[in-house]
Amino acid sequence: MISRLFGLLNSHVKADPYGWDGALAEEIQRLPVGLRAMAATHHLDISLTLDDIGWHFLNFGHPSHVEETERGLRELGLAEVAAMLHEAYELVRPHLRVIMRPGGDYYGVMERLGHMKRLNELTKQARAALGDNGIYRHWAAYAREHPDRVFGSESASEPKCAPAGQRVTRKARGGGR
């Protein structure tokens, strides 16, 4: 399931996620709401794995991208993580210009302001809320529960369940085995 979702995202999302021009948020608004949520939240999972929730905004802090990420978390049923992201953004946002200048020091600025302790707490809480497999486990569960909100009309032709005693098999697409 996850590889299929990544395939869809790779084929539909071409904007630079690191761009500060709002192009990613604009582009993903054309996607079905569930796939849009996944496109918006993918980089947060990476940030929480490699860095912390505050550092995320140094790479993905364009206001429209942050808004899409919050909306996506809520769509995926992760409202508590959306609230954590929002709180972290409110701590970091006013200082992004200073931090992002050449020689800017994210950790130094956040420590001086007394925000680093809270950012660390939010990071720990977000990681715990997402679990060991991060956000992707939530993607898979969402896609199974709401295929129409992820795959659009593509899912309409696939059975959601089989009659009792029968196995569901997928039709091979293309050459197949």
- Residue at 164 is within a domain: no
The residue type found at 13 is: V
Q: What backbone phi and psi angles, to 5 degrees, belong to 40? A: -75, -25
Short-list 22, 113, 51, 127, CA closest to 84: 127
- Residue at 169 is within a domain: no
Check pLDDT > 70 for residue 113. yes
- Residue at 165 is within a domain: no
* Residue 15 pLDDT level (bands cut at 50, 70, 90): confident
* Residue 11 pLDDT level (bands cut at 50, 70, 90): low
Say how far apart CA 70 and CA 92 lie, in whole Å: 15
Burial grade of 23 (CB within 10 A; 0-12, 13-18, 19 or more): middle
Burial 25-50 (b: 16+ CB within 10 A, else e): bebbeebbebbbbbbbbbbbbebbee
- Residue at 176 is within a domain: no
Instruction: Look at residue 167 in the predicted model and tell me its pLDDT.
Output: 34
Query: Three-class SS of residue 40?
Result: helix
* Residue 21 pLDDT level (bands cut at 50, 70, 90): confident
Q: Report the 10 Å Cβ neighbour count for 130.
A: 21
Q: How many domains does the chain have?
A: 1
- Residue at 177 is within a domain: no
Q: Report the 10 Å Cβ neighbour count for 110.
A: 22
- Residue at 171 is within a domain: no
**Mean pLDDT, residues 12-28 taken together:** 80
- Enter the pTM of the model: 0.79
Q: What's the gap between Cα 134 and its chain centre? A: 10
Rounded to 10 deg, the angle between the 33-50 and 63-75 helix axes is: 110
Q: Which domain holds residue 96?
A: 2-157
Check pLDDT > 70 for residue 6. no
- Residue at 111 is within a domain: yes
- Residue at 73 is within a domain: yes
